[in-house]
Amino acid sequence: MALLTPQEVAAWVPQATEREGLLLDAVSMAVGLADEFCGRHLELTDYDVVMDVAPGLVSLLMPEYPLVVDDDHALTITDDPDGAATVLDASWYVAVAGAGMIKRVDGGTWPAGYRSLRVQYSAGYTSLTLPAGLRRTLLQLVAWVLESAGNVGAQSESHDGYSVTYEQTTNGLPQSIANALRPYKAGTLA
């Protein structure tokens, strides 16, 4: 499921007027730029990760978040995935969704060692769970993608007495959009 729908973009982004044929591509580009800037996937995705675990750990920090655990998205942890491969009882742990963390609740620690755990999980947002601030930022990014089409590298333009100066960019994004995406960067708990 896409983070933004073409109907939503058409309603909120004035640059989308008379450019309906480009909306899906513009949304795809905007989400791709946001993913690249944040260093992670924002859209709900399934993951299968084998982890090295240090001795004494009671919490696992997953590389993608927020975790999604529901009837359609299971969280499965397997001990010794390269050997006996024992699925751990789900009553041993709890997911802290927004932090992307899985904590032991039985007072124990996670099995330690090289490639000691396999974690199969889902993480990310859907159009229904996307935080309002991130939704607004993605809409602004779609508007920028549409507005700046063909103006790569241009800092200002003028035509027939009308001039426009473009916002400074950071890592290829307008500074204001980069600032709004910063809390969603990998390694940042938001």
Q: Is the pLDDT higher at 189 or at 166?
A: 166
Beta bridge partners of 60: 102
Residues of 84-99 as b/e, b for ≥16 C-beta within 10 angstroms?
eeeebeeeebebbeeb
Both tokens of 12, joined, read 């909120």
Q: Are residues 38 and 51 in the same domain?
A: no
Q: Is the pLDDT of residue 139 over 90?
A: yes
pLDDT of residue 56: 94
Among residues 98, 123, 148, the one where a domain terminates is: 123
| Strand, helix or coil for residue 90 | helix
The answer to which of 58-72, 99-113, 143-157 has the lowest mean pLDDT is 143-157
Residue 94 lies in a domain: yes
Q: Is the pLDDT higher at 189 or at 153?
A: 153
Q: Distance of alpha carbon 71 from its chain centroid, rounded?
A: 21
pLDDT of residue 1: 60
Domain count, the chain: 2
Give the predicted TM-score (pTM) of the model. 0.83
Q: Are residues 56 and 119 in the same domain?
A: yes
For the chain, the first-to-last Cα distance in angstroms comes to 22
pLDDT of residue 151: 65
Among residues 78, 101, 123, the one where a domain terminates is: 123
Q: Domain range holding 98?
A: 45-123
pLDDT of residue 7: 85
pLDDT of residue 188: 52
